[in-house]
Amino acid sequence: MKAFSYERIDDAAQAAARAFEVPGSKFIAGGTNLLDLMKHEIEVPPHLIDITRTGLDDITETGEGGVRIGALVSNTALAANERIRCDYPVLSRALFSGASGQLRNKASTGGNLLQRTRCPYFYDTAMPCNKRAPGAGCAALDEGADTRQLGVIGTSEHCIATHPSDMAVALRVLDAEVETITPQGQTRRLTLDEFYRLPGDTPDVENVLEPGEIITGVVLPAPVGGRQQYYKVRDRASYAFALVSVALIETDDGKGRVALGGVAHKPWRRDEADAELGNGAKAVMAKLLDGARPTDENAYKLTLAERTLAALLAKE
Amino acid sequence: MDFNQSADENLFDHARIIGKPHTRVDGALKVTGTAPYAYERHDVVENPLVGYPLGSSIAKGHITRMDATAARNAEGVAAVITTLDIDELPRAESNVAKLFGGDMIEHYHQAIAVVVADTLEQARAATSLIEVEYEEIPGEFDLDDAWKRLQDRDVVSHVGDVDAAFESAEITLDETYYTASQSHAMMEPHATIADWCDGKNMTLWTSNQMIEWTRQALATTFEIDADTIRLESPYIGGGFGGKLWLRADAVLAALGSRETGRPVKVALPRSFIFNNATHRSGTVQRLRIAANRDGRITAFDHAAISHTLPGGSGEDAVNQTRCFYAGENRRVAHHAIDMNLPESADMRAPGEASGLAALEIAMDEMAEKLGMDPVEFRILNDTQVNPEEPSKRYSDRHFVECLRKGAEGFNWSARNTTPGSKREGQWLIGQGMAGAYRGAPTLDSGARVRLSEGRLIVETDMTDIGTGSYTIIAQTAAETMGLEMDDVEVRLGNSAYPAASGSGGQMGAASSTAGVYAACVALQGEITKRLGVESARFESGQVVAGGKRVALRDVAQNEELVGEDTLHFGDFKDELEIGTFAAHFVEVAVHAYTGETRLRRTLSVVDAGRILNPVTARSQVIGGMTMATGAALTEGLNIDSQRGYFTNHDLAGYEIAVHADIPEQEVIFLDTQDGASTPLKAKGVGELGICGGAAAVANAMYNATGIRLRDYPMTLDRMLDRLPGA
Ligand SMILES: Cc1cc2nc3c(=O)[nH]c(=O)nc-3n(C[C@H](O)[C@H](O)[C@H](O)COP(=O)(O)OP(=O)(O)OC[C@H]3O[C@@H](n4cnc5c(N)ncnc54)[C@H](O)[C@@H]3O)c2cc1C
Ligand code: SF4
């Protein structure tokens, strides 16, 4: 861990402005991801801005019948919220499947969106990793690499990492939007698809946030109802990241939406795949995973995704 | 005391305290966080400096240049010692990988420098300022390749005529099994505070299973007199064999202390547990079994390989096959292949766990070929003698009883016998079982007991790695001296105390309690001498002799009476097979679509001689079963086969079983005693639980799905495309 300076700022817009002023500075919320990364010197911010007292910890109604979730609402509070459990159960289920009770108590909504990949080479500073050290190369793409957990679609020749969040997969299927304030004081609203980037040739740039820009919350549109499920497949029963996860909403009109976790650099969803939901898991995956480029070690994820969706669709 | 023949009826057959469920005497210290673990010995050393290691980032080669200037100049740094600063340290007999010194790199994360600073953060930050250049040499990292290349097999033993037996056999099996490399992944990392400030007398507060071995290893490594070394390791946060040896934490702390003239503490970072410390080697095993149509086994042929650094012995998976089941013809071969992965060495049931993981699937497969119930098949092939040397009988073997009791307790007869045909919703349900066999070795073990004012202090360098040594030793002493548990204080893990067996190879409980018994008998001798009587009984806190009763607190006033002795185990044991046995029964659910496997219940029936304390023994057995479940389903070190290291080197990536993975676990102990083992007629159970457990899970998975897996860990990707789904 490199020495760093620390300050607390209790207003989101001011925090953004200050972060812009001090290059390389980082916000710290729950710290459950950032501190680990700092200890390993995967992230070496010279300055931390503590945003835990910005008051962004409410869950409120929006004018449009939806819900606004403050960026600092903890994963535990969000998962347990009555409105979320009734109207957006897929989100509640996704959150409860993540990490552990202790971590969810600390983890914030904004921090969860911005948690970084679990690629084993990203985590080992002795290994080349374009995401950690741009231009260094990608150990995961070398022969003999351990890629069982890594991405199968939307990857590039520079990076095949996945985004590990469960929450984000549910948010994606719910058409949620991320709300931000720029250092200049402007607010932006971005769909999750707009918010996250594919690795391309800059895998170190994971989203479209500008320097200093802060997440203030997440906005859920009015509930879509339907049957909502989240199925996280993992090797052990708890405390493990998804091999594959499926967020599914089946609405009464026979339509629905499906998003995948554990397969790509961002929660993975395609409109044309949603449209196939009436035709079964195979048809959905033919569209959703079209163009996949798995490794020998993680090709099982294609089968697994299809079978997991089939299991959900078959559930009484 | 010499133990030269099997124990006859003795006081332990009428025990008040031994064999009773006493909760851990050190439990309160642990749950209140006040047990003094090595890294936090604030009671012995104030403000030690903190050392942080740097590991090699290549697996094989040489260091051509190191520059630590920036690290030395960094804030708070007191010293930097690089591996180029000193000659290669001599290796103790028990070490295979070199621990420090010189330019040669033998494995990834070999320690190549230590930074000593005022704080952990300063030391850690400064390690990344050290510049290192390497000359890399390609290495061997692929066990499967080595297996394929292997031509001749080194036969360890061959009795009868295996080839002829297979030729004439009615039913045969020939399959290859794979077990993964595994990490001990104990909670407390290797950690040491060293005080070698004067460069003369060394004191280490450390976390180590074997005090005397490690003291000797330090003496060899630093070429100093063992008498100048003192070691304390009273509490150990798990070891599983990973802390049997001297490791880099102690070496670097000692070097740092000598260099700075201040006490220095070093804990290995978590990632070092996987690549710097030792691990259990993976294996490839080919197993052939031949049998008559009636189910009698006629031959075993078992060949296995594992990896090791040059000079090591790998993971010998074939030993149990030599004598677990009957069969006239048997051949086993093991190859430890030199490879350039980190050092493979002992981990809980070294060899046995891996060998039985294969053998007990093979037995299941063979039973199926024969159309027999796997329990009955094992019963039919039980043996009361070592089938390699029929003149050598088992001292006390109740494996059949384990099988029968287990089948009954588990309701085995009601199980579904058509694999893949029992379903609950989207889950396939299966039941499986396996046998377990682990030897019950003993090591000479010493102790000292001190009586004063009716209170007894027991001192021995035996360790408690979470197993319950404190408790069973207190029970032994209280029982022998006619005292209560509260009258006894146990002090362990200190080189100032008599040398005991230490904790390893499931020898500790049986050996160390025997040593404590011997010391107590020596003290009794002192007391009777003092009272001028020939013999006496010790009961209710009193000595009873010649019609007189004297309270122990009155035997010696204002004075301490001391008994010290070592129990020496005699050669007569070599004429016997002394072992522990169990049968594990497991029920699993496998998701018909996704292949996720979840344990539903387990039952282990155990024959391990007198159970000294059913509470702590049960913890050992269910802990072993938990580890076996990890081995079956999730635990495997992933190898980057070009770079030559274990990539999942943290507890997020190396998946041990968590609470949610482990439901109901039941243990039944048979009421057995083995007088050939120790005066207490006890044997170990620390490693028995992990033996066979993984195969029981695998066999249950087969029963659930009809898909036979032979490759551990049995993760869903290995069977996904063969599962039924709807
Ligand atoms: C052992 C372990 C297991 C886990 N398992 C899972 C799992 O199974 N599923 C899962 O989804 N997650 C899992 N996680 C990840 C966990 O969900 C995240 O660590 C957590 O959500 C991060 O939230 P935080 O508030 O602690 O973020 P922090 O660590 O404080 O911050 C993370 C990042 O977000 C930035 N940030 C935080 N808030 C804002 C904001 N408002 N605006 C702009 N930037 C911001 C920080 O600068 C930092 O870069 C696991 C974590 C651990 C340690
Ligand atoms: S896959 Fe991405 S995160 Fe992993 S090593 Fe390659 S560049 Fe780094």
Count of Cβ atoms closer than 10 Å to residue B366 Cβ: 23
Average of per-residue pLDDT across A248-263: 94
**Spatial CA neighbour of B83 closest among B70, B75, B106, B74:** B106
Q: Which fold would CATH assign to domain B2-35+442-574?
A: Aldehyde Oxidoreductase; domain 4 (3.30.365)
Would you state the pLDDT for residue B557? Answer: 80
Tens-place pLDDT, residues B483-541:
999 999 999 999 999 999 999 999 999 999 999 999 999 999 999 999 999 999 999 99
Chain-centre distance for alpha carbon B28? 25
Nearest residue by C-alpha to atom 21 in ligand 1 = A112
**% of chain B residues with pLDDT over 70:** 100
Nearest residue by C-alpha to atom 8 in ligand 2 = A129
Of the ligands numbered here, which is closest to the C-alpha atom of A245?
A: 1
CA distance A227 to B329: 62
B interface test, pick of A4, A236, A298 with most B CB neighbours within 10 Å: A236
CA distance B181 to B233: 28
- Amino acid at the residue A52: T
Tens-place pLDDT, residues A57-67:
999 999 999 99
Active site residue B687: yes
> Is residue A296 within 8 angstroms of chain B, CB to CB?
no
Separation in Å, CA B216 to CA B220, B276, B311, B336, B501: 6, 21, 19, 26, 14
Residue B389 has φ and ψ, to the nearest 5°, of: -135, 80
Average of per-residue pLDDT across B685-704: 98
Nearest residue by C-alpha to atom 32 in ligand 1 = A111
Would you state the pLDDT for residue B474? Answer: 98
Joined together, the tokens standing for residue B201 give 């007398």
Q: Which of B633, B658, B717 sits opposite A239 (nearest CB)?
A: B658
pLDDT exceeds cutoff 80 at B153 = no
Average of per-residue pLDDT across B663-684: 97
**Ligand 1 pocket by C-beta < 6 Å: which residues?**
A 26-34, 36, 51, 71, 98-99, 103, 106-108, 110-112, 114-115, 164-167, 214-215, 241; B 652
pTM: 0.97
- Shortest distance between the Cα of A120 and any Cα of chain B, in A, equals 6
Would you state the pLDDT for residue B573? Answer: 97
**Cβ–Cβ of B128/A125 closer than 8 Å?**
yes
Q: How far is the CA of B274 from the centre of ligand 2 (A)?
A: 21
**Spatial CA neighbour of B403 closest among B379, B367, B424:** B379
Domains B2-35+442-574 and B388-439+578-722 share a fold: yes
Would you state the pLDDT for residue A120? Answer: 98
CA distance B230 to A213: 57
Nearest-atom number in ligand 2 for the CA of A117 is 3
Q: Is the ipTM of this complex over 0.90?
A: yes
Count of Cβ atoms closer than 10 Å to residue B42 Cβ: 11
pLDDT exceeds cutoff 90 at B171 = yes
Would you state the pLDDT for residue B314? Answer: 97
**% of chain A residues with pLDDT over 70:** 100
CA distance B627 to B641: 26
| Total count of residues recorded for chain A | 316
CA distance A198 to B609: 62
- Shortest distance between the Cα of B571 and any Cα of chain A, in A, equals 47
Q: Structurally, what CATH architecture does the domain formed by B388-439+578-722 represent?
A: 2-Layer Sandwich (3.30)
- Shortest distance between the Cα of A240 and any Cα of chain B, in A, equals 7
Strand pairing category for A5-8 and A47-50:
parallel
CA distance B211 to B495: 6
Separation in Å, CA B562 to CA A6, B388, B457: 60, 46, 9
Q: Which residue has the tokens 């066990």?
A: B143
Q: How confident is the model at residue B152 (pLDDT cuts 50, 70, 90)?
A: confident
pLDDT exceeds cutoff 80 at A38 = yes
Please say whether the dihedral angle defined by the alpha carbons of residues B51, B56, B61 and B63, taken in this order, is positive or negative.
negative
Quick one: how many helices (H) and strands (E) in chain A? 12, 11
In chain B, the residue whose alpha carbon lies closest to the alpha carbon of A314 is B726
Joined together, the tokens standing for residue B144 give 């499967």
pLDDT exceeds cutoff 80 at A230 = yes
Tens-place pLDDT, residues B525-563:
999 999 999 999 999 999 999 888 999 999 978 899 999
Tens-place pLDDT, residues B94-148:
999 999 999 999 999 999 999 999 999 999 999 999 999 999 999 999 999 999 9
pLDDT exceeds cutoff 80 at B706 = yes
**% of chain B residues with pLDDT over 90:** 97
Q: Where are the domains of chain B?
A: 2-35+442-574, 388-439+578-722
Average of per-residue pLDDT across A1-28: 97
In chain A, the residue whose alpha carbon lies closest to the alpha carbon of B591 is A311
CA distance B441 to B510: 9
Would you state the pLDDT for residue A233? Answer: 98
Tens-place pLDDT, residues B21-69:
999 999 999 999 999 999 999 999 989 999 999 999 999 999 999 999 9
pLDDT exceeds cutoff 80 at A178 = yes
pLDDT exceeds cutoff 80 at B230 = yes
Separation in Å, CA A145 to CA A128, A295, A298, B88, B715: 12, 10, 11, 32, 18
Count of Cβ atoms closer than 10 Å to residue B32 Cβ: 8
- Shortest distance between the Cα of B150 and any Cα of chain A, in A, equals 21
Q: Is A277 in the pocket of ligand 2 (CB under 6 A)?
A: no
Joined together, the tokens standing for residue B28 give 């309160």
Count of Cβ atoms closer than 10 Å to residue B31 Cβ: 10
Would you state the pLDDT for residue B510? Answer: 98
CA distance B112 to B419: 53
Average pLDDT, chain A: 97
**Cβ–Cβ of A235/B634 closer than 8 Å?**
yes
| Element spanning B11, H or E | none
Q: How confident is the model at residue A229 (pLDDT cuts 50, 70, 90)?
A: very high
**Spatial CA neighbour of A278 closest among A301, A245, A240, A252:** A252
Chain-centre distance for alpha carbon B650? 21
Look up residue B575 and give its DSSP letter: G
Would you state the pLDDT for residue B726? Answer: 86
Cis peptide before B713 (omega within 30 of 0): yes
Tens-place pLDDT, residues A82-101:
999 999 999 999 999 999 99
Q: Which of A126, A127, A310 sits opposite B593 (nearest CB)?
A: A310
Would you state the pLDDT for residue B23? Answer: 96
Average of per-residue pLDDT across B561-569: 98
Average pLDDT, chain B: 97
Contacts of A121 in chain B (CB under 8 A): 647
Q: How far is the CA of A165 from the centre of ligand 1 (A)?
A: 8
Count of Cβ atoms closer than 10 Å to residue A135 Cβ: 9
Nearest residue by C-alpha to atom 2 in ligand 2 = A159
Q: Residue B553 in contact with residue B453, Cβ under 8 Å?
A: yes
Q: Is A139 in the pocket of ligand 2 (CB under 6 A)?
A: yes
Q: How confident is the model at residue A1 (pLDDT cuts 50, 70, 90)?
A: confident
Pocket test for ligand 2, best of A117, A130, A152 (most atoms within 8 A of CB): A130
Count of Cβ atoms closer than 10 Å to residue B453 Cβ: 14
Average of per-residue pLDDT across B350-356: 98
Strand pairing category for B202-206 and B229-232:
parallel
Joined together, the tokens standing for residue B680 give 């207490």
Q: Residue B700 in contact with residue B431, Cβ under 8 Å?
A: yes
Would you state the pLDDT for residue B647? Answer: 98
**Cβ–Cβ of A142/B426 closer than 8 Å?**
no
Would you state the pLDDT for residue B151? Answer: 76
Would you state the pLDDT for residue A263? Answer: 98
Would you state the pLDDT for residue B654? Answer: 98
Q: Which residue has the tokens 């030792």?
A: B278
Average of per-residue pLDDT across B403-418: 98
CA distance B365 to B368: 5
